[in-house]
Structure 1
């Protein structure tokens, strides 16, 4: 390199730049890339950056585009790129196949091997130019002539310099021995040198034979299949070209003077324009970045304001959801309380109805007993036991007191409203009573106006009683018949089985004959006359008959009445 280029370039990038395959590939893309459907905006710097990546999609895209011009397979995709590329190598260059037997893919290859494979694909494309010519626009002879790359000049060591379409300076020299200076040929070189940028076919570079490539990435000159020739890149940027031109300022060699003039007159203006354009683009890019930064700050401020507003809206929405959830919870709680209150009220109504039924049964019992005892004042039949007048009067008074107590109990009232108020309370509000259960409720709570309740034809039945009526109407009516027995029927025969006295109602026991007889045994001290004995038997018979009517045994259920 003779110190012409910057030493800060990485060894891998320097090796890539010194590969004639890389220069040939980029030159082919500059000329035929559009026909091969390769991105026209792709520059050599972009390809270098992709080569430095461990996994490059652009290199794979280039390989696929070139393979489509080589292979006869239709519908090529990245999935079958490796298989088709391997098939082409097996059919054309089986001993130089970089993909092996199927274990290696194109993306697994190192960067120099990828470049060599891509350059080989371009050579296979040029072996069938008709396929490429079909995809190109109409060509003229002058266009085909411009594809040839001529040498740009020679130096004092007889090394050849080229400038390709990438505006980089390359040098081709002999590697085995330094070139011999021939003054006569120098004049020939100067006479044959044409002004302007010379071009020569890239194929002429490959006509010098083949040789194994060097595997040392740190070597500034990488050997290739150019044989005894070395290919190297000596100038990339404007500063590199200026240093190269300055090197030839004090030369006395005619060829170097011509090379210096060519570089100074043709290449430097192009690079200076490119540098100015690059600086303008960079300045424009900086302005765009500054504008984007300002816009980003403005957007950031607006985003902050938007986020604050959004956060406020989210908080309001969250508060509304919380309020709705609380309202729903309160509603559910009130509904549960109402259901529980209705259940408790129904239970109280049921208990009250049970008590009313029991009270009615006791009233009937006391009334029948009182009626039977009242009949005991009249003379009874002969043969019946008698009871003393004092004891009879005591029984009558006891039944009368029991009836009076029942009447007082019936006069008790209960306030049990759907609003939850319960007990014997009077809050002063207008109330109505159920005609069946006699339970009082607020007229407002049951939806009744005071004027409506004061009418003479007004009738009120509470919800619980209506529900009980509906249940009774829907349920099957069960008819229970009772069979009344006399006191003699209640005394079992000595030969009867005691198990026949088992009653399915555990709280109602059949009459024990022995106990019944013992309860009403009399002595001469207790009963003085046969009439008293007759009255006693009359009372006993009435009591037994009443008990038989109210509490029949299991054998009497469903029987006929005597």
Structure 2
């Protein structure tokens, strides 16, 4: 990136070398000299009401007790353009209202409605001239006005101060009030009714003013018409009209460029206006330099203060963000610890429940009698078979006495504990394994013999298992409509004991085949054979209710017997 040249290096011979060396120590460009603000800044400086406000602050700000505040015209321009906050302007607004009305508005930046109401009382003629309807007056908000309209109101407020006694006392403090307070042109050029003037005011800036005076009309009279001459009651307005107001140069760099331009235009013509103006401006070089150098140092100081305030604010913000992030991490760690604790407690509760279920399902025989304790595996198997043979009755007697018993379908888990046990567990909850047993109640499909959790079934299936007698369960992979009933029209229960060694089959007499009775609806009623179900304790008898099924089709009868586990 190329190094920016300092404008002090290009100053002409009008500026002494010692001034150039001092200017080289200052920043090459101020914030207001940025091209981004030049158009608005030129419009502000070319407004004569703004020049009036600046001169009033320079000379009479003690009238509203702003003497302790260091005034800088460039700082005021930054506030008007919105580059910085309106600190000085807010103090001025509060002070001028307090002087003119005696009322002190606290925090005027936020209480802008109070400031607007005071303006209505102080400037009735202004609002009557510029706001014709009540709707316009009601919609008036000072902060919504553009910069030109705001300058108009400030100008009118400052003009009101000339009617106060305190203003006269302030003027009397000056040894030469007319020379000190009145703006005197350094050069005047009159041409007929046009007057052109050049001023260097209290802000050390060169201004140009062009005035137009009205032409005086003197009525022609004669001696004969003296008696008939009309008396003139009102003289015509003779006040000049402001035609143009411009700020020609600000600061030593623009002032030097203006002097160089005047020298070129004047040439050797000593009688020209450019030559005369050049000679009048040369004595002001030291004054312009001193003022500009001081302001540039003040501007650099303000810039450093703003950077320091921004740095402090960023550090405070960074510390707040760091503390906030630390607090967030601590809260997240506490939440994770609480989650892990709840997870461990939940796992312990579930393990306790599973252990309790296992004890209830498989430990009843041990609690009811201690005969099995200490027996070998073969002795336990013989004892179990003897219990089954002793409690099992002929099928005919079971059929005859089935009406006297009311037993629901019982849900069991497959027998376990033997080394050769072998069953398939495939539940809709996603668990699929060989010889899986988590201690909860399970049920077997009557078609594929696969086991599932009882708790994983739908409410409808659970209701039928618990309430309907002789309900046949089929898993989701086996469609019940595709399962062909046995030849006798009833499903036979089978005692399923999964063991590691062969077990002798228990003889069970079957019921002779009967011809189903067909009803009027096209279905037939088939008597059911008793379902022999077992638990780890003993076998139980199931009732043999009548089940109404659809008329069977003429297909081969499957010999597969469903397993109903309880």
Greater share of helix: 1
Query: Larger Rg: 1 or 2?
Result: 1
Q: Under a length normalisation based on structure 1, what TM-score does the superposition of the two structures give?
A: 0.41
Q: Which structure carries more relative contact order (alpha carbon 8 Å, separation 6+)?
A: 1
Q: Under a length normalisation based on structure 2, what TM-score does the superposition of the two structures give?
A: 0.41
